[in-house]
Amino acid sequence: MNELVHSARTDKAAKKPVVRAALKPAPAPRTNDPARTMAGILEVATAEFAAKGLSGARIDAIAAATRTSKRMIYYYFGSKEGLYVAVLEEAYRRMRQIEAEQHLEDLAPEAALRRLVEFTFDHHSGNPDYIRLVMTENMERGAYLAQSKTIQELNVPAIQAIARLYQRGVAEGVFRPGLDPIDIHASISALTFFNVSNQHTFGLIFKEDARTAQAVAARRSSITEMVVRFVRR
């Protein structure tokens, strides 16, 4: 009887280390990196606002996806609306930054215009979240974009770049005079924007899939030719 009791105690003692080994280690603590945290929040918030709009987006969902908290998000951005404005600013900043990297001033006027149209088309096609954010802000009647001095300042160089390449083209006799750089910009934006914003409804109505590689390439070429022929002398 004593041997049986001793054996049971030995077995219980032997199992204890096994139980301890099965416990999951505690998660590593977050690093104190505000810039990285804010960048992560902006990335997730961009997708959230693009998919659900300002009213439908949820700070709880953004906090959960970024392993942060509502309190931290409000600390960095002030409010849901403040985060939305920051998302808009980041979206415009990225586009204008890449646009500036095209070095249009190094190209002949017509080649520069072609590159600008193609870049804008490629950016919009590759960044549907940007298109949805702009659509959302238009539904808000531009109320939040109007609050941002950053966005307004970011778009000034874009118009100046178009004005410079257009003036070079006019001076060289390549482009016809009398056009407004803002109008040129609006035409490029309208054609490349529609290609993404209305792709689903347009495709369903006319029974064409505008998202195939062949359709995208054909539309890209068509839009570029339209703009160039409009500006060309």
> How many Cβ atoms are within 10 Å of 78's Cβ, its own excluded?
12
Helix ranges (DSSP H) in the chain: 2-22, 34-56, 59-66, 70-77, 80-100, 109-126, 128-139, 149-171, 181-197, 199-206, 213-231
H or E stretch covering 30: none
Please name the residues in contact with 169: beta carbons below 8 A apart, sequence gap of 6 or more: 109, 110, 113, 175, 231
- CA separation, residue 91 to residues 51, 59, 119, 183, 201 (Å): 15, 19, 16, 22, 25
Structure tokens at 14: 């032997």
| pLDDT score of 19 | 39
pLDDT per residue of the chain (233 residues) written in tens, 0 to 9: 444 444 444 444 444 444 343 334 433 335 578 999 999 999 999 999 999 999 999 999 999 999 999 999 999 999 999 999 999 999 999 999 998 888 999 999 999 999 999 999 999 999 999 999 999 999 999 999 999 989 888 888 899 999 999 999 999 999 999 999 999 999 999 999 998 999 889 888 988 787 788 989 999 999 999 999 999 99
| pLDDT score of 89 | 96
Q: 89-231 in CATH: which number? A: 1.10.357.10
